[in-house]
């Protein structure tokens, strides 16, 4: 539809005036529940704007993820794959801009600016759960790539991330508190299991529309999954490219080691919204599989695993 900021504002105000809210995570913004998931106000407003107005094009590709599952990595890889023909090692924007600037979030509303809707470069990202995606995405031919990650690592990553951006006067944020909230489903774009299950089921139903990736598998077999990703993005590697090591070059360019050591990601910052400026290094912490072992107790691990198994099982039986 056509851009009507007033309509979006009114709908947003109406929603947050009655929505369940929770003030325990960030300390400066409450989380609001909408269509079963929890959001910061800015991301909720952007979600509503996207639902009302996002005009998906058939050749759009939307990178979807819950926060802290490997969004930054997926953005970098997809960007590098799609751009490899026209960029060389020294001119790649990934060297000068955070992946979040190269591929903005749908929720930021940049899609309204014509400049960001280049036909030949149709990558966007979102944390919106499958069931709440704008209809133009689900009903059109555009493609979706989803990445998920071990919930234990997601929780630990999220706890560190929030601890850093949390209002100082709110004081220390105990991991036990984060764990309880996460297990209640109250986390950024949570419940996490519903986020994953929504895309998982959709990917089984529409395998040609949705590619489902796992952080741990991408780590373990990068080359295999990066080739799969390139093929899905309609930019498959040619045999010559494979022989010349282009796949490995892209993996290397987008590696945690390389990206996190770039000046832009060490000392730069990027404004997701005018009111939300995040230091780029916040997106690069350890980039490892299994760091939860340094934080969660054995009991927390068991509880979270049991919860995930229970949710997955009850979800299948309700189908
Ligand atoms: P950790 O906190 O466990 O280190 P998101 O990008 O969705 O916000 O997720 C952030 C997580 O991905 C962080 O996890 C971060 O370190 C990790 N990460 C960022 N860039 C990465 C990369 N290039 N390769 C692997 N992991 C990466």
The answer to whether 109 and 128 have CB atoms below 8 angstroms apart is: no
| pLDDT at position 113 over 70 | no
Helices (H) and strands (E) in the chain, counts: 15, 9
pLDDT attached to residue 1: 47
Pocket of ligand 1 (CB under 6 A): 65, 67-73, 76, 153, 157, 160, 254-256, 259, 283-287, 291
Ligand 1 atom nearest the C-alpha of 255 is 23
Using left for φ > 0, alpha for ψ between -120 and 50, and beta otherwise, residue 306 falls in alpha
Best residue among 157, 159, 163, 251 to mutate for probing ligand 1, ranked by most atoms within 8 Å of CB: 157
pLDDT attached to residue 285: 96
ipTM value greater than 0.85: yes
User: Per-residue confidence at 3, pLDDT binned at 50, 70, 90?
Assistant: low
Distance between Cα 48 and ligand 1 center (Å): 27
Residue nearest to atom 5 of ligand 1 (CA): 68
Cβ atoms within 10 Å of 263's Cβ, excluding its own: 10
Ligand 1 atom nearest the C-alpha of 72 is 6
Q: pTM of the predicted model, to two decimals?
A: 0.95
pLDDT attached to residue 2: 55
Mean pLDDT of 99-120: 71
Q: Say how far apart CA 298 and CA 219 lie, in whole Å.
A: 24
pLDDT tens string 266-319: 999 998 888 888 899 999 999 999 999 999 999 999 999 999 999 999 886 554
pLDDT attached to residue 55: 86
pLDDT attached to residue 173: 86
Task: Spot the catalytic one: 100, 127, 195, 225.
Answer: 127
pLDDT attached to residue 317: 55
Q: Does the annotation mark 127 as catalytic?
A: yes
User: Per-residue confidence at 27, pLDDT binned at 50, 70, 90?
Assistant: low
The answer to whether 264 and 258 have CB atoms below 8 angstroms apart is: no
Q: Say how far apart CA 53 and CA 183 lie, in whole Å.
A: 33
The answer to whether 29 and 40 have CB atoms below 8 angstroms apart is: yes
Residue nearest to atom 24 of ligand 1 (CA): 256
Best residue among 105, 187, 256 to mutate for probing ligand 1, ranked by most atoms within 8 Å of CB: 256
Distances, alpha carbon 221 to alpha carbons 148, 226, 253, in Å = 15, 9, 16
Ligand 1 atom nearest the C-alpha of 147 is 7
């Amino acid at each position: 539809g056509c851009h009507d900021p007033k309509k979006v504002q009114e709908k947003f105000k109406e929603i947050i005036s009655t929505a369940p809210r929770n003030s325990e995570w960030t300390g400066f913004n409450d989380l609001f529940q909408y269509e079963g998931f929890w959001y910061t106000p800015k991301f909720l407003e952007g979600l509503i704007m996207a639902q009302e107005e996002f005009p998906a094009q058939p050749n759009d590709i939307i990178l979807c993820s819950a926060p802290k599952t490997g969004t930054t990595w997926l953005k970098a890889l997809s960007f590098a794959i799609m751009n490899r023909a026209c960029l060389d090692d020294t001119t790649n924007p990934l060297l000068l801009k955070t992946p979040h600037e190269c591929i903005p979030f749908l929720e930021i509303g940049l899609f309204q600016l014509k400049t960001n809707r280049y036909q030949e470069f149709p990558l966007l990202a979102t944390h919106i759960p499958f069931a709440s995606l704008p209809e133009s995405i689900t009903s059109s031919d555009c493609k979706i790539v989803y990445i998920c990650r071990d919930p234990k690592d997601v929780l630990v990553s999220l706890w560190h991330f929030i601890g850093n951006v949390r209002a100082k006067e709110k004081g220390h944020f105990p991991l036990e508190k984060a764990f309880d909230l996460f297990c209640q489903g109250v986390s950024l774009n949570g419940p996490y299991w519903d986020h994953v299950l929504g895309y998982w089921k959709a990917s089984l139903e529409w395998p040609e529309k949705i590619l489902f990736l796992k952080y741990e598998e991408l780590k373990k077999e990068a080359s295999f999954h990066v080739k799969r990703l390139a093929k899905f993005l309609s930019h498959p590697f040619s045999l010559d490219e494979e022989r010349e090591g282009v796949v490995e070059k892209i993996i290397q360019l987008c590696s945690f080691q390389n990206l996190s050591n770039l000046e832009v990601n060490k000392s730069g910052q990027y404004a997701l919204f005018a009111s939300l400026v995040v230091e780029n290094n916040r997106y690069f912490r350890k980039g490892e599989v299994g760091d939860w072992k340094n934080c969660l107790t054995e009991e927390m691990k068991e509880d979270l695993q049991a919860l995930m198994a229970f949710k997955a099982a009850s979800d299948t039986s309700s189908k």
